Structure 1
């Protein structure tokens, strides 16, 4: 994969993109040639899940990034992922006191026909209001001190346009239909675009409170999980254990329907059906089967609704290509069925389709606004855009950690790591630059042998400390993908779930979910040569071209950022070995 670097420029104008959403704030830096120099969510450095109510322009970390990537700058363009003007209803809610702490405590405000309680809606609006009110304060101070006198231009873009820009500009398509399906933007939850000739043309927009994003938040809550912490993943994992419940599906279809490229709420019955669903809310001692059926039915309704919308989009535009973004594009179960359930023939979902990705979308919008005549070649975005671990940090830990450690340059480390994996060891893998987006793609991963079913259970129990029903992802050599998955599709960012071929499922039980699926990552030498070499070496020794790949973290924490984070997980869990750059740390064998 390329970082989509364009032809060199002498302007030395750098584009700083900021996600100013109250959740998942992020920073992106685009160079004078349009290439991506850096992109990372704030949660990684802070090690705080989703970094709620945190500015993306940290006053301590930001100066280091600007000196590293923009030291020769002669101009900055700062682009944010929201328009400065807020909608009228939000100003009214603020004036009435609904966005105040007292208003949220008392659940004040008008109950609209949406899935969430007023206090939840107004808390989000209040947090977003605060995030935008303090926009760019830290950045302004840093630029004034470190780049005095250099011109700074500030722009704000429509939120859903930023989502669309990332999905389309990062895609391998010259033309595409683009769908942004989200929780909310300036005026609603969805927007649709026609992408051609390097330009995005809006064709439809959802207005009002109807939202598939809000719906999935409510489903997550009903299943007993916390959507503020991003636990929608748990619903997808649990859904595979359940079955369709006709009563639940009937309630959902009564509440919200699809009309072309719009979602419509059935006002007369909405709150009555919502009360019926609330009666299904997970409670202590409730049978696990009932909750699994709720998750399964809720996921089924979500996927069917998205697929109907996308089929209407195809009817409208006729393009065989779909670029998909917005928070709902993280639903890999839904994504895996798009090419089967809609007329589209090719799908692209960027590595960071949720709000963190809009930082890069905003920066690219600003760049293209300043280069209207430039021709941009299509190419697939590399996800390896985040921070790297300094070599001196690895050397320091090798000297002081007090663990058996080996320095194994190049192929020697690949050989040793593959041997450990074949022997059933659980390996932490920290290489190169971190991934941009929520998934570990072979640079901040925990790896294991997929042939051992007990390994997956051990990682859940002793490494990740999470629920037993959570599945693991198979990383597969691209050339072997069709032999292992039905209707195989490239999935470079682990963005879609596909079905394993029945004849191979028993060969890799650790990565086959209970319903016979896996959220796969396609690996090839162009995209990640070092991870590909490790997987190829494991294949030669084991006969299996797959590895179990999961994010390097424990439940409830972001993927590790620095070596202190990595060693905290390594030493505080049942992981056996840790590879950092060319250093391999191995725990002493623990007696049975």
Structure 2
């Protein structure tokens, strides 16, 4: 019997202490799997958890790599650690006692030293655990396989995802983050499948840290990922000139650098801290601070990106790093900079670096690879096990219909057109923080009270937070000013005033919406559902939000979905071809 050709698999690990993730590529460059660890664990951001979960990894390798002869394990951080981290560890500043003492000279940055040292301590321990669970699994299940480990620069892994996953064959690339090995930003030129470094920031000053501090001052928890709340709240506020002058006085843009005003930085930071929202005041009281802080963030990014164009002239921009999740800023980049096209990957934050590291390893081994540029599909995660859905149908004591061959699409469109709120699950989960039609909660955008109803009865979150529209791409220009294709819900655009009254549930208070553009080839079944809703209502748009409740990750299993369905105001639940409703409801 002829032995098969040797097979190599590339396993990418995001070993950051927050938002760990794992990806798998084969030796043809095909992405087989990519998912954040929080989904499997159902623990928001999976703080201080390893990406190669000991219970999950054997299943994944068995499913995707059963014929492996070799594994390349690619990590999203360099093996050598920054000198400050090594010094802090040596002096005991990263121990519990050291963190509590707040020792060390205060760095010119936005966060307190105990926060900085806690992050460094968590990352130090995360680095020490890299690949331990993978090693055990490989030793047991693949004893004859060769294993190679590779470590890559953190911001390079961000850039790799932004560029290799884009439809561009050349572009300028910006990575704007909280921190990397040496600093918080990096800029690249991308051409012929190769990345050329233009500038790597050094030092602790960081736009990511700035937005974390802004989140804290508005009364929210950045460790829990509540920067989203600041973006939503900002639309309710007005610019405070005095606060904006303080912010502009803390740091300035010089070429591709952020330069602090060393003389006045802490003075202005102290004044800003005096604006902190007290815990007993409503979030809306921080709206002006949020608005002004968002304005400063956007104008700073615009200056950096404009300067990048001067260094790397191109019509095309790719953007990654945690700051690339700021859809308000993203939606203004093409209007305010010389670039004409923008690509933001579906997972621009640290979870995406698991895939970026694997792509770097693949291209290192295949430097002459001729993979055609194409937009990455975000549907790279886990599937709901069919037997789990069948168990729910059999034992859940819920009204249920099995509707194969597209019948479930028609039934779901009918319910949505009648004002029902549905959980919608199909095929593979999205990679990244946004639900894009495979793990979504969907609703009719026409009722004025729909957003408030979902906030109150389904998501259990603050009233000021908006909901996103998903629109049939060909109808986008009818609804949005200066319409841009937004496949991953990565940018916020302004609705045309004439159509806002038609879809009020997805129009934010300032007339904007963080949209998802939908074409048939991106997600045929979801497109069929939206098309069916359009035929029934004349509206080519649905309200689309992630299938979870506030503080929890997007649902991962049939059991997770059933839990949210039964403990919230959802009217129906679709999992593949099954439609579940609640006792006493009309089918």
Q: If the TM-score is normalised by the length of the shorter chain, which range does it land in?
A: over 0.9
Kept in 1, the 8 Å contact 2:168–2:373? The answer is yes
Aligned counterpart in structure 2 of residue 441 of structure 1, from 436, 445, 461: 436
CA distance in 2, matches of 1:171, 1:206: 24
SS of 1:518's equivalent?
Answer: strand
CA deviation map 1:135-155 (0-9, x unaligned): 111000000000002100100
Aligned counterpart in structure 2 of residue 345 of structure 1, from 340, 352, 362: 340
Kept in 2, the 8 Å contact 1:339–1:347? The answer is yes
CA deviation map 1:157-208 (0-9, x unaligned): 0000000000000000000000000000000000000000110000111110
Aligned counterpart in structure 2 of residue 366 of structure 1, from 349, 361, 369: 361
Aligned counterpart in structure 2 of residue 136 of structure 1, from 131, 140, 164: 131
The RMSD of aligned alpha carbons is: 1.1
Match status 1:159 vs 2:154: yes
Partner of 1:109: 104
CA deviation map 1:311-342 (0-9, x unaligned): 00001111010000000000000000000010
Aligned counterpart in structure 2 of residue 66 of structure 1, from 61, 67, 88: 61
SS of 2:380's equivalent?
Answer: strand
Partner of 1:41: 36
Deviation at 1:10, TM superposition (A): 4.4
SS of 1:125's equivalent?
Answer: helix
Bigger drift between 518-527 and 373-382 goes to: 373-382
CA deviation map 1:235-274 (0-9, x unaligned): 0000000000001100000001100000000000011101
CA distance in 2, matches of 1:548, 1:286: 30
Kept in 2, the 8 Å contact 1:475–1:522? The answer is yes
Deviation at 1:440, TM superposition (A): 0.2
Structure-to-structure mapping, 1:131-530, within 5 angstroms = 131-286=126-281, 290-530=285-525
Structure-to-structure mapping, 1:93-104, within 5 angstroms = 93-104=88-99
CA distance in 1, matches of 2:536, 2:289: 43
SS of 2:39's equivalent?
Answer: helix
| Alpha-carbon spacing, 1:548–1:72, altered in 2? closer, same or farther (3 Å) | same
CA distance in 1, matches of 2:225, 2:458: 20
Compute the TM-score of the two structures, normalised by the length of structure 2.
0.98
Deviation at 1:375, TM superposition (A): 1.8
CA distance in 1, matches of 2:563, 2:243: 43
Kept in 2, the 8 Å contact 1:10–1:32? The answer is no
Partner of 1:12: 7
Deviation at 1:108, TM superposition (A): 2.1
Match status 1:575 vs 2:570: yes
| Alpha-carbon spacing, 1:532–1:328, altered in 2? closer, same or farther (3 Å) | same
Kept in 1, the 8 Å contact 2:219–2:283? The answer is no
CA deviation map 1:37-74 (0-9, x unaligned): 00000000000000000000011110000010000011
Deviation at 1:390, TM superposition (A): 1.4
Compute the TM-score of the two structures, normalised by the length of structure 1.
0.97
Match status 1:548 vs 2:526: no
| Alpha-carbon spacing, 1:373–1:273, altered in 2? closer, same or farther (3 Å) | same
Kept in 1, the 8 Å contact 2:455–2:462? The answer is yes
Match status 1:76 vs 2:71: yes
| Alpha-carbon spacing, 1:421–1:89, altered in 2? closer, same or farther (3 Å) | same
CA distance in 1, matches of 2:114, 2:585: 50
Deviation at 1:285, TM superposition (A): 4.8
Partner of 1:4: none
CA distance in 2, matches of 1:404, 1:109: 62
CA distance in 1, matches of 2:252, 2:205: 10
Partner of 2:19: 24
Kept in 2, the 8 Å contact 1:11–1:32? The answer is no
| Alpha-carbon spacing, 1:13–1:280, altered in 2? closer, same or farther (3 Å) | same
Aligned counterpart in structure 2 of residue 55 of structure 1, from 50, 62, 79: 50
Kept in 1, the 8 Å contact 2:472–2:530? The answer is yes
Kept in 1, the 8 Å contact 2:73–2:148? The answer is yes
| Alpha-carbon spacing, 1:72–1:287, altered in 2? closer, same or farther (3 Å) | closer
CA deviation map 1:89-114 (0-9, x unaligned): 11101111111101112222221110
Deviation at 1:453, TM superposition (A): 1.5
Bigger drift between 60-69 and 582-591 goes to: 582-591
SS of 2:517's equivalent?
Answer: strand
Q: How many residues align?
A: 583
Deviation at 1:12, TM superposition (A): 1.1
CA distance in 1, matches of 2:435, 2:411: 21
Deviation at 1:286, TM superposition (A): 4.3
Partner of 1:5: none
CA distance in 1, matches of 2:69, 2:203: 43
Deviation at 1:277, TM superposition (A): 0.3
Kept in 2, the 8 Å contact 1:103–1:109? The answer is no
CA distance in 2, matches of 1:11, 1:437: 32
Kept in 2, the 8 Å contact 1:243–1:297? The answer is yes
